[in-house]
């Protein structure tokens, strides 16, 4: 008889962790995302690709209500996290962001110490103070940054390199123990070595989280993701297992994009 934990784990592999059901996002009259239905699973990395302006960031931000800060935006359809509609009136967006962390294109550490950057969210969420040093250490270890910063935790995060800052932002996001991690072009400001470290890190993190990543780098999508979604003019054109997606795309639009004929 499998343990309860093993059964829950098994269930999560076949039940979407997060999904959108005909999600439409408009800025005023302009439709940026059109009726997109997608499901994302535990222990899987999903890559969102498509030309500039096709709605990738808009879609990603709507998964943790980051779009709430934009005036004039309207959202139709549903986003379900573990079956709960995150746009329901009774749902607190701060709690949503606690469960669905986000890492942005440009590393954006706070002008605080390395320790404070990672401890900031857990402190606000009232995690017990005595647990913070361990939590900071664990998060920095998971983000593959601990060895480089363990002797300078109380120095400014702004003194780190770009690649280190991005790993710090990942540590900051995972310190909140989210179930889903959103990444919007997390490597686009990094050199190839730092990029490769983040890609390795994503492979490790997917053991614990559902990862949804926007990237313009097709090799990166092919290397790190399990599933790939192609967006064009706000529409989801194709979604499937990465290997087939890149070798045998089903739609002509996808093939044109992958072979550079788009334009």
Query: By CB under 6 A, is residue 54 in contact with ligand ATP?
Result: yes
Q: Which residue is nearest to Mg ion (CB)?
A: 57
127 binds, among Mg ion, ligand ATP, none (CB under 5 to 8 A by kind): none
Residue among 108, 51, 96 at smallest CA distance from 231: 51
- Is 49:216 a contact under the CB 8 Å cutoff? yes
20 binding Mg ion? (CB under 5 A): no
Q: Nearest approach, Cβ of 154 to ligand ATP (angstroms)?
A: 35
Give the interface segment with Mg ion, choosing from 50-58, 88-96, 116-124, 154-162 (CB under 5 A). 50-58
Question: Binds 159, which of ligand ATP, Mg ion, none (CB < 5 to 8 A, cut-off by type)?
Answer: none
Contact in structure between 2 and 63 (CB atoms under 8 Å): no
Among 18, 19, 20, 58, binds ligand ATP (CB under 6 A): 58
Q: Which is nearer to ligand ATP, 1 or 71 (CB)?
A: 71
Question: What is the residue whose two structure tokens read 């109380």?
Answer: 154
Say how far apart CA 168 and CA 157 lie, in whole Å.
Answer: 8
Report if residue 57 touches Mg ion, rule: CB under 5 A. yes
How many Å from the N-terminal Cα to the C-terminal Cα in the chain? 56
| C-alpha–C-alpha distance, residues 245 and 259, integer Å | 13
The listed partner (Mg ion, ligand ATP, none) that binds 117, CB under 5 to 8 Å by sort, is none
Helix (H) / strand (E) containing 13:
helix 4-14
Rule CB under 6 A: which residues touch ligand ATP?
27, 32, 50, 52-58, 70
């Amino acid at each position: 008889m499998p343990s309860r934990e093993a059964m829950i784990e098994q269930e999560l592999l076949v039940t979407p962790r997060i999904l959108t059901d005909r999600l439409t996002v408009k800025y005023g009259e302009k439709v940026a995302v059109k009726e997109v239905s997608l499901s994302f699973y535990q222990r899987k990395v999903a890559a969102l690709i498509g030309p500039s302006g096709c709605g990738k960031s808009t879609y990603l931000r709507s998964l943790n209500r980051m779009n709430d800060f934009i005036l004039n935006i309207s959202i139709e359809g549903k986003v379900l996290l573990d079956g709960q509609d995150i746009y329901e009136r009774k749902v607190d967006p701060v709690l949503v962001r606690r469960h669905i962390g986000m890492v942005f294109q440009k590393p954006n550490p706070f002008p605080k110490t390395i320790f404070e950057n990672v401890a900031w969210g857990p402190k606000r969420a009232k995690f017990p103070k005595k647990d913070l040093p361990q939590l900071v250490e664990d998060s920095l270890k998971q983000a593959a940054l601990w060895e480089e910063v363990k002797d300078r935790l109380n120095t400014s995060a702004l003194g780190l390199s770009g690649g280190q800052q991005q790993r710090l932002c990942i540590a900051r996001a995972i310190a909140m123990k989210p179930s889903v991690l959103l990444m919007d072009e997390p490597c686009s400001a990094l050199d190839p070595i730092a990029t490769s470290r983040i890609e390795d890190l994503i492979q490790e993190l997917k053991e614990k989280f559902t990862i949804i990543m926007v990237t313009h780098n097709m090799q990166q999508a092919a290397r790190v993701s399990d599933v790939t979604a192609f967006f064009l003019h706000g529409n989801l054109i194709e979604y499937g297992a990465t290997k087939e997606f890149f070798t045998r795309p089903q739609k002509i639009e996808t093939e044109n994009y992958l072979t550079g004929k788009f334009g």
